[in-house]
Amino acid sequence: MTQSNPLPFLPFSRPHIDEATITEVGNVLRSGWLTSGPKVQAFEAALSQYLGGRLVRTFNSGTCTMEIALRIAGIGPGDEVITTPISWVATANVIIEVGATPVFADIDPVTRNLDLDKLEAAITPRTRAIIPVYLSGLPMDMDRLYGLAKKYNLRVVEDAAQALGSRWQGKPIGSFGDFVSFSFQANKNLTTSEGGCLVVNSPEEARLAEKYRLQGVTRSGVDGIDVDVLGGKYNMTDIAATLGLGQLPGIDAVAAHRRSLAMHYFDCFGTSFEAQTGAQLPVADTENSNWHLFQIILPKKVVRAEFMKKMMEQHHIGTGYHYSPIHLFTLYRERGFREGMFPVAEHIGYQTVTLPMFNTLKIGDVERVVAAVKSCLY
């Protein structure tokens, strides 16, 4: 007897670029203008319009955006910046990059974002800024966050890498607040392959952001040039901007589709799943989150690597984990961080699993994933 073909591989993320955008990228390649040019300017204008008219500058990553925000805010040696231990390590690395000291606060076990009580307890006279992270696209209590920032005179650099299309009380994340950093990396709801943008507060901050993204250069006239700050090479290309221009008009529809997928996940798991397995589902947010990721927390008795291997080998389904606890990486252990300092983050960091969620995922795919999860856990 011949074995039946296995089900097609289902990844946890898959970027989608439509044919019209691919054609337009071809037009850019034929134009001869490949680096920063008219497409970058158009993308920045479109992002600004989407975010209520706020000033937006694009970059080649959503990491340098946070570093540049800290530099614009004048944060450096002797300053402390509070952030979460559960994020991509870039969130903390940029603090070290500007010479400041990273300070972690533990996370809320339900939202998996910064616990604002613990954040406030971590504030010292040296604290100058907060970098909150909206894990999986779920915003935190923005009113309370900015209330704390005002109370202690702190800058906020929102790591909204995963949150384009998310909202707070009906307003798009990025349309209000202080600095807001978005990522357009390959698995984001909107991708430019690699890239990001920074929302700033004034023309002066926008000009400084432009200097930092391209070697500190200011040009004037036909041949005038000056450098008065130490910048880097962080500019976005017109090729990347064209990808963004093709996707931005559909970002709210993408978020709505992902919300429907997330709600179907909850329906398929059912009300008894957590009690029967000891696993933890995410917050069932139907208003604010763009559902960049759908993550479950495995029971303590389950070894994550073994679960992920079963999902792949037995069910042909890819999974991921977002993220390992930053403070337990060697770079941060060398700065004095240890196990037990942030127990909620450590538990979630070791047991979190990211299930498939992407723009072209279908309802039937969700049902297949849930059936596989239950098969691996029951």
Strands 155-159 and 127-131: parallel
Grouping H, G, I as helix, E, B as strand and the rest as coil, residue 58 is strand
* Residue spans of alpha helices (H) in 86-141: 90-97, 116-122
User: Which one from 39, 188, 211, 310 is the annotated catalytic residue?
Assistant: 188
Q: Report the C-alpha dihedral over residues 45, 47, 48, 54, rounded to 10 degrees.
A: -150
Q: Which two tokens stand for residue 190?
A: 């909107």
Contact 40, 58 (CB under 8 A): yes
Contact 123, 98 (CB under 8 A): no
Q: Which two tokens stand for residue 1?
A: 């007897």
Tell the residue number behind the tokens 């559960």, with chain if given: 86
Q: Report the C-alpha dihedral over residues 155, 160, 165, 170, rounded to 10 degrees.
A: -30
CA distance 314 to 310: 5
Strands 196-200 and 55-59: antiparallel
Q: Which two tokens stand for residue 235?
A: 């500019």
CA distance 48 to 187: 22
CB atoms within 10 A of CB 64: 23
171 is catalytic: no
Which residues are annotated as catalytic? 188
